[in-house]
Amino acid sequence: MEGDHLWYEAAHVVGITNALNVAADGLAALPAVTALLPPVAEGRAGDPAGAIFARGDVPPVFRLLARDPFYAADVWAATRRAFGDNRLARRFKEALAFAVSLTSRSEWGTGFHLAEMKRLGVGDGGVMEVIGVTQMFSSYTKIADTLQLEPDMGDIAPVDDSPAPGGSPR
Amino acid sequence: MPTVRLRDASEYPEPARKLFELSKAWFNHDFKHPPAMSRVMAWDPEFGGPHGRAMKRAMAPGEWSRGEKEMVAAVVSGVNACAY
């Protein structure tokens, strides 16, 4: 997993996953919230969000975000970009999103990304591997935090001297 | 600053020092001193042993590569806001 491009992609998946989980668990799943902010019914979303629903596989949280169709359209565009096949495969990105959701105890995100992993062909063994890594590093991180350990392995990774996409070498 | 004094490798018994060699092999890196986490886990081999085996089992190549799993581990560490 060498090269910064892979890590930028991973960071974008982590960020947008957390953003969707926050709105899904904290807003869309709460009847007290949806009573005051009803999700937009399919077919009633204004442009440019209307095109999102034409796909049919849009996470329900977008129905709530579609109350502002311009905002929803941009979040959807960022989500599709982050999760699209690039140097990291979509299938692996769903595994990252599952790990993020499990770690942050997102009920919606954990279920959604587990279903996406299975849909994209990840077997039970592959799911258990992600659960194992997530659980083990949820242990190591808390041990490190409890003892306030200082990072001492940062210099074992190679430095990527390539420029930003489309940019010039330094 | 760590809340405990991290012992030098020489302060550990011989079996633990062998674990530090395994740590070098695992990371494929010749550390000047064993990583802090390795020294913490070597403190109580009855905890560190099975914990380390579970970690190695979880991190071994399977449906996902070791590199992919390191990325999952980094993401989990980031979500847990752990700088280590």
Measured CA to CA, the distance from residue A149 to residue B50 in angstroms comes to 21
Measured CA to CA, the distance from residue A77 to residue A35 in angstroms comes to 27
Residue B54 C-alpha, separation from nearest chain A C-alpha, in angstroms: 8
Residue A136 — φ and ψ, nearest 5°? -60, -40
Residues A83-134 pLDDT 10s = 999 999 999 999 999 999 999 999 999 999 999 999 999 999 999 999 999 9
Cis, bond preceding A158 (omega within 30 deg of 0): no
Q: Cβ of A62 under 8 Å from any chain B Cβ?
A: no
Q: Cβ of B25 under 8 Å from any chain A Cβ?
A: no
CB atoms within 10 A of CB B11: 11
CB pairs under 8 A between A and B: 126
Q: Is residue A157 part of a domain?
A: no
Considering only CB atoms, A1 lies closest to which of B2, B4, B70, namely B70
Residue A165 confidence class, pLDDT cut points 50, 70, 90: confident
Contacts of B1 in chain A (CB under 8 A): 148, 150
Q: Is residue A99 part of a domain?
A: yes
- Return the residue of A nearest to B35 by Cα: A152
Q: Is residue B84 part of a domain?
A: no
Domain count, chain B: 1
Q: Is residue A16 part of a domain?
A: yes
Percent of chain A with pLDDT over 70: 100
Q: Is residue B2 part of a domain?
A: no
Q: Which residues span the domain enclosing B47?
A: 10-79
Q: Is residue B29 part of a domain?
A: yes
Q: Look over chain A and give the mean of its residue pLDDT values, rounded to a whole number.
A: 93
Contacts of A138 in chain B (CB under 8 A): 76, 80
Domain count, chain A: 1
Q: Is residue A159 part of a domain?
A: no
Q: Is residue B5 part of a domain?
A: no
Task: Record the pTM.
Answer: 0.93
Interface predicted TM-score (ipTM) of this complex, two decimals: 0.92
CATH number of the structural domain spanning residue A24: 1.20.1290
Measured CA to CA, the distance from residue A135 to residue A129 in angstroms comes to 10
Q: Which residues span the domain enclosing A95?
A: 4-149
Q: Is residue A84 part of a domain?
A: yes
If you search the block for the tokens 């306030």, which residue do you land on?
A148
Q: Is residue B52 part of a domain?
A: yes
Q: Is residue B72 part of a domain?
A: yes
Q: Is residue B43 part of a domain?
A: yes
**Ramachandran sector of residue A56 (left: φ over 0; alpha: ψ -120 to 50; beta: rest):** left
Q: Which helix (H) or strand (E) holds A49?
A: none
What pLDDT was estimated at residue B16?
Answer: 87
Q: Is residue B69 part of a domain?
A: yes
Residue A23 confidence class, pLDDT cut points 50, 70, 90: very high
Q: What is the mean pLDDT of residues B26-45?
A: 91
Best of B63, B65, B66, B77 to disrupt the A interface (most A CBs within 10 Å) is B63
B75 and A17 in contact (C-beta within 8 Å)?
A: no
Residue B84 confidence class, pLDDT cut points 50, 70, 90: confident
Best of A88, A104, A133 to disrupt the B interface (most B CBs within 10 Å) is A133
